[in-house]
Structure 1
């Protein structure tokens, strides 16, 4: 209704703003009256997913006004070329050049408002209604009209196989989560006995609590990915061997997540579609601030608020922002070490590979420590509980990350001594490192902000 009225009065921005305010305020009021100090399973869980979907829908309709303004200047242009299957060439290119994810392609603006029934069906699309994933109305429309597939009369094979793999993986994750939380319940962190343990025991238990906290989200997302594949909406083109891929709406890349050696890797492989939504509808809309840092903080504040009013969400997201800032600064300073070790791996055979492997294990461990340390606040939620849990491990995560940022500010600019020895790096090494380096654009996720969300 807001979009319709906004269009009638010639101001789609006002309509989109009304949708944004109504959905967010309605959700926050629900949190105020329904939330507790524990993980809540009630109507606000599905409402938070619907909140993002409706906000994105309204913004797409707002952006559609630009297409209308360009229509007059393109009326004399040649019509879009079609393939032998009588579909737009862009659809066939999508099939031949798969990208992950497909939830928000470039052409998602809506020049005309869909019917009420179509909008309602999109809002409550059953594979993404309870826990996501988020995707544009354009993708839903392409799926309904069979334009998602290169042959509109035939759905490619392979969706059942992919669905079974996802369901199996999701079941394993959920089983691991249940077993892990039986042995490492988070409430122990707040007990008097825990404070009496030796330091190593406390640190280990703290790390395990953070680890198993992630598993339940990964499991649910894998199950939902399987349902999307079964339905057919996650078709992602064909691989190099001509086999259809069904990972277009994957919300987690399990292998990449589990073996991640940096927080950038985590952002690109965890809650992928929500991260992409935040990039498109919040981060890029804050361009007027003229600061990526401030825009990133704006995104994180919005996402924390979207999750709920508990202090733990804000503490977690702020700490993750600081972690990312420290990683960004020091990755530049020690980049030559990484390149040197990789060069030794290439040249020195087994010994070089062992050193490179040890380096990656250390990076993996440090990344997981930072991630799990912040995640505990996401689970405990209450301010005093978070402070108590972090205090039991001497606030080590805070001291380390703020200490690294302080050192970066006081040390001479540029990388640490020794980088000059790496000027002779080969072109092959550069190319290989570029391919292995985390790139937010690969998955449509901006790596300037974190995106660890439980509800989408």
Structure 2
């Protein structure tokens, strides 16, 4: 999730120096450098570079479709690796060697340690320590576009690769349907690993996908028309136009709902109702930045993959909690990430309790099934969703403890109070509304 902030950082990273350049480096003076363009647009040079890189994925993909489709897979791997390395250098200079070192290390792990649990553990420990060290040495109190942004995508991708490679050495009877679909029974070449890691369509901000899908693409097998190019041009253009639409909506809406406003005395002096409403609307606008980056179907979400692998613990709640803890650490070391995913855990846990209560209670079941109440229930559901989506996003976007705690204090920790009180009261609700034969669900 955090990496998606990068694309829309263009609306949030105007520094005083950049503002001063807006007049001096206006394109009308003849200076068409990236620095001048960024100043004219009111953004940072890093954000503009990232946006350009993402949009260039479309002509790169079109070239692949027209001239490389059906060619030898090694040509596809080299093409993807070269473009990914160029993107890394264009955006981060010689800091591109961080990703290169981790990709080479991962290839050596696959070759030298092989399909073993030791290989998976080595991958997880090394890649996560490298990422967290990067977070530690580059951390600031705001979101910056730096090499750790694509590296967190790469880290999850390489951990997933090691899991799928490990599955390739198991008997099929031991695998789930999903594991069998993505397992890697054959040895991988350096070209395959690097092409997968640096694939230009996902290197900077994702999404995640499995190596098995990538290899199908390289062989020309990832198509809805076997033996022919996929019918992908029109869907891709629709996604591009929709993404650009969301960019415009975000850039128009964000000035009215800036993150910094939460920390002003003006916000603190507003009424409680206004502060809650602002959080609702701010959350909706902020969510657009994620929608903009991920207007694609994530065919292999590795966090879900990890969640399913924890089923041996025998508790869905524990598995979910550990998965969200991993995601918080994966995003960074700021306390805001941990609070955000903690709130997600609490909210999902409460929602599951409510759904189970409605299912077990004949009265609630009848009420929620009445068609005339559908509009009312929909309004309540959406109001609930808007408020607490924004509420949980506050620490995610403000990062630092003193900032997000200040915002939560201003609304008296309303989300925490509501959810924790309702979780504690749920046993009483069940006693009142659920027949005794269903109380085993309590």
Residue from 124, 134, 143 that aligns with 2:208: 134
Deviations 1:61-103 (A, max 9, x none): 1111114999xxxxxxxxxxxxxxxxxxxxxxxxxxxxxxxxx
Residue of 159, 169, 172 corresponding to 1:65: 169
- Deviation string, structure 1 residues 163-202 (Cα, Å, up to 9, x no partner): 2221121112222222221011111111112111122221
Give yes or no for the alignment of 1:167 onto 2:240.
yes
Match of 1:381 among 399, 410, 414: 399
The residue aligned with 1:37 is 141
**For the aligned residues, what is the CA RMSD?**
2.6
Once the two structures are superposed, residues 369-408 of structure 1 have per-residue CA deviations (whole angstroms, 9 ceiling, x without a partner) of 1211101111011111111001111111110000110101
Partner of 2:190: 116
Counterpart-to-counterpart distance in 2, 1:294 and 1:328: 14
Secondary structure of the structure 2 residue equivalent to 1:371: helix
Deviation, 1:40, is 1.8
- How many angstroms apart in 2 are the aligned matches of 1:414 and 1:64? 52
Distance 1:376 1:23 in 2: 28
8 Å CA contact 1:341–1:356 kept in 2: the answer is no
1:363 to 381, 385, 390: 381
Deviation at 1:110, TM superposition (A): 1.1
Asked whether the 8 Å contact 1:6–1:14 carries over to 2, the reply is no
Alpha-carbon separation, structure 1, partners of 2:356 and 2:226:
48
Runs of 5+ consecutive residues of structure 1 not aligned to the other structure: 71-103, 226-249, 252-272, 346-351, 421-456
Aligned length in residues? 329
What's the counterpart of residue 291 of structure 2?
218
What is the aligned partner in structure 1 of residue 131 from structure 2? 27
2:222 is matched with which residue: 127, 148, 157? 148
CA contact (8 A) 1:31 1:309 kept: yes
Greater helix share, structure number: 2
Answering whether residue 209 of structure 2 is matched by residue 184 of structure 1, we say: no
Q: In structure 2, what is the equivalent of residue 398 of structure 1? A: 416
TM-score (norm 2): 0.69
SS of residue paired to 2:182: coil
Q: Please list the CA deviations of residues 417-453 of structure 1 after superposition, one character each: whole Å capped at 9, or x if unmatched.
A: 8999xxxxxxxxxxxxxxxxxxxxxxxxxxxxxxxxx
How has the CA–CA distance of structure 1 residues 150 and 221 changed in structure 2, closer, same or farther, with 3 Å as cutoff? closer
What residue number does 1:279 align with? 304
| Range with greater deviation from structure 2 (141-150 or 371-380) | 141-150
Query: What residue is the counterpart of 2:281 in the other structure?
Result: 208
TM-score (norm 1): 0.67
> Once the 2 structures are TM-superposed, how far is the Cα of residue 316 of structure 1 from its aligned partner?
0.6
Q: Which residue of 1 aligns with 2:58?
A: none
- Comparing both chains, which one has the higher relative contact order based on Cα–Cα distances under 8 Å and sequence gaps of 6 or more? 1
CA 1:415/1:135 → structure 2, altered by over 3 Å: closer, same or farther?
Answer: farther
Displacement after TM superposition at 1:415 (Å): 4.2
Contact 1:316 1:374 in 2 (8 A): yes
The partner residue of 1:319 within 340, 343, 356 is 343
Structure 1 residues 417 and 397, CA, compared in 2 at 3 Å: closer, same or farther? farther
Superposition deviation, residue 160 in structure 1? 2.1
> How far apart in 1 are the matches of 2:364 and 2:377?
8
Shift of 1:340: 2.9
User: What SS is found at the alignment partner of 1:303?
Assistant: helix
After superposing the two structures, state which structure 1 stretch, 356-365 or 141-150, moved more: 141-150
Mark the CA change 1:394 to 1:5 in structure 2 (over 3 Å): closer, same or farther.
closer
Query: CA 1:2/1:279 → structure 2, altered by over 3 Å: closer, same or farther?
Result: same
Task: Summarize the alignment of residues 422-437 of structure 1 with structure 2, pairs less than 5 Å apart.
Answer: none
